[in-house]
Amino acid sequence: MGRKFQLVDLMVLVLLFAGLFTWYRILAQHGVGVRLYAFVRLGSLIWVPLGYHCPALLVGSLTLTWFWLRPPRACWRKLIVQPGFSACFLVSVWFLVRVVLFVASEGLGRLPIDHGFDARIHFSTWQHRWLLTSAYLFEACGLIVLGGWSLLGMAGLWRPLATVADRLGRMIGAAWILGWWVLLVSDYQEKEWGHAHDAKADGSCRSVCAGSGGDRWCGLALLDLSCLPQAAGHESWRL
């Protein structure tokens, strides 16, 4: 980065952190939107802590990308081979993609035709749809970082710098990958559990979800961290 801290940097920082605090205020008020299967299990509750850490990681990635890309900057070829920069840059790219997809889905959802979108995540305002389901919106950030880092590693382009910014970027990238991996494994455990109940065919599991079975989600609830110890005390937490 190697340049003076300017007024515009301060303005961007204030804007980003104002957005972050607003995000956390709404999360504290409503809880995290969690996808529910036939029953709630610890596997699905992993979304709660991930929902809380998503905004901080996202704002961290966007901030670092901003500081890296402000002129005067190094040439792209030198920037891209820094794993810290590449992680934050790719998260910013995915953020833009998600914004476009979110706007498109909002627009399509308002069209006066019958979509049959029966499982749409219902919140009263688009802000709540965006802010409370952050873990869903940005779960692929870990994946896009993994793709970029794999390429850098395979092509022999992994050139980390001993700077605070690059180290921080690498930590953020690793946190995204870790979060994505935890979700992946918990999702498989959720499906495993659902299939086990389907195999029993006792009907009790199906009735909860109107015949959708255990591996299809059947709703969305707002949960906060206080739910975790409550759920940990039970093998399954029936809705």
Partner 1 sequence: MNRGVYDRTWTLPDLIARYPLAVMPWVLTLSVAILVLRLRAPRPRWRRLVRQPGFVACGMVTAWLIIMLVSGLVGAPDARRWIQPGFGLDLVGSTSVAGVLILGAWTLLYVGGFWRPEKSRLDRAGRILGASWIALVLVLYLLRDLGRQ
Task: Give contact residues for partner 1 (rule: CB under 8 A).
Answer: 76-77, 79-81, 86, 89-90, 93-94, 97-98, 101-102, 104-105, 108-109, 114-121, 136, 140, 143-148, 150-152, 154-157, 181, 184-189, 191-192, 195, 215
Nearer to partner 1, 10 or 99 (CB): 99
Least Å distance, CB 129 to partner 1, is: 9
Report CA Rg, the chain: 20
Nearest to 86 by CA among 145, 27, 126, 134: 145
- By beta-carbon proximity to partner 1, the closer residue of 13 and 158 is 158
Q: How far is the CB of 226 from partner 1 (least distance, A)?
A: 27
Q: Which residues pair with 32 in a beta bridge?
A: 223
Q: How far apart are CA 84 and CA 173, in angstroms?
A: 7
Q: How far apart are CA 230 and CA 238, in angstroms?
A: 12
Token pair of 97 as six digits:
């993609």
Q: Rounded distance, CA 11 to CA 144, Å?
A: 28
Taking the alpha carbons at both ends of the chain, their separation in whole angstroms is: 51
Q: Among residues 80 and 225, whose Cβ is nearest to partner 1?
A: 80
CB of 11 to partner 1, least distance (A): 26
The answer to whether 134 touches 98, Cβ cutoff 8 Å, is: no
If the CB atoms of residues 8 and 104 are measured against partner 1, the closer one turns out to be: 104
Between 121 and 225, name the residue whose CB sits nearer to partner 1. 121
149, 108 Cβ separation under 8 angstroms: no
Supply the minimum distance, in Å, between the C-beta of residue 32 and partner 1: 17
What minimum distance in Å lies between the beta carbon of 61 and partner 1?
A: 13
